[in-house]
Amino acid sequence: MTDADTGWQTARIAAIVPQTAEITSFFFTLERPFRHRAGQHVDLRLTAPDAYQAMRSYSIASAPDDGSTIELSIERIAIGEVSPFFHEVAAVGDDIELRGPLGGHFVWRPTDAGPLLLLGGGSGLVPLMAMLRQRRQQGVATPTLLLQASRSWDDVLYRDELLADAARPDGPLLRFALSRSAPLRPEDYGRRIDAAMLSEALALLPAPPAMSFICGSNGFVNTAADALVALGVPADTIRTERYGG
């Protein structure tokens, strides 16, 4: 069996960019470039000298049109096995085994009907960012709202890019839910995501969302999805991606 059969290829770390205290972006140059869809992920596989292997999934943050380099943003889980390796050991020029693109359910296409509701918890913003980037690059005007839950203003991944996107004429509506600090903008929230917040978010859209994408830790996804269903959003329009925890 060749590598092409298994889907594994070697990807080289081309750049490492810290984004927040706990999340760093890694740009990988692909040996065999592919075109992914916004929302998809890849698997990374690490092999120790004694042949022990560890594999984890990471969503692709870059828009599909960004060429032979993909961006992954990895949150450091202090007690974890793989994410601390990337934060503390991985260096530009390292070769990493990568497989993908993977996943056919948690994907958005620019031609999909709107409105579009995006709910991100912490690093769960990553696949939603690929959707927002593609939406921007292709000039899509679908009414869109991102509600992003993070610990504090400085913990919001891609914060400045999100603010700039939201300031465009056809940019998405943007709300932050900050659990460990007061909101800096009047429209944001200083608490964890809850049903009242989601009810206000739904009211900002011109019509009920045709699609909702929720991504983050298990607890975040369960809370957000249950609340949306209780607010009358049809379950079959809600797509979820659980990162663990």
Ligand X SMILES: Cc1cc2nc3c(=O)[nH]c(=O)nc-3n(C[C@H](O)[C@H](O)[C@H](O)COP(=O)(O)OP(=O)(O)OC[C@H]3O[C@@H](n4cnc5c(N)ncnc54)[C@H](O)[C@@H]3O)c2cc1C
Binding region for ligand X (CB under 6 A):
41, 56-59, 73-75, 77, 79-83, 123, 126, 217, 241, 243-245
- Sorted by sequence, the CB contacts under 8 Å of residue 125 that are 6+ apart come out as 148, 157, 158, 215
Comparing CB distances to ligand X, the nearer of 157 and 198 is 157
- Shorter beta-carbon distance to ligand X: residue 61 or 202: 61
Nearer to ligand X, 189 or 243 (CB): 243
Q: Which residue type, as a one-letter code, is found at position 196?
A: A
Q: Give the contacts of 136 (CB within 8 A, at least 6 positions apart).
A: 63, 165, 168, 171
Backbone angles phi, psi at 160, to 5 degrees: -70, -35
Among the listed residues 84, 65, 85, the one whose alpha carbon sits nearest the alpha carbon of residue 76: 84
Q: Which residues pair with 58 in a beta bridge?
A: 42
Q: Least separation, in Å, of the C-beta of 21 and ligand X?
A: 13
Taking a C-beta distance cutoff of 8 angstroms, is the pair 98, 30 a contact? Answer: yes
Asked whether 208 and 143 are in contact (CB, 8 A), the reply is no
Q: Give the 3-state secondary structure of residue 130.
A: helix
CB of 205 to ligand X, least distance (A): 26
Nearer to ligand X, 128 or 211 (CB): 128
Minimum CB separation of residue 84 from ligand X in Å reads: 6
Looking at beta carbons only, is 70 or 202 nearer to ligand X? 70
Between CA 141 and CA 186 the distance in angstroms is: 25
Which amino acid does the sequence have at 82? Answer: V
- In the complex, the smallest distance separating the C-beta of residue 104 from ligand X, rounded to whole angstroms, is 12
Nearer CB in complex with ligand X: 234/244: 244
Minimum Å gap between C-beta 217 and ligand X is 4
Residue nearest to ligand X (CB): 80
Residue 123 CB, shortest distance to ligand X, in Å, is: 4
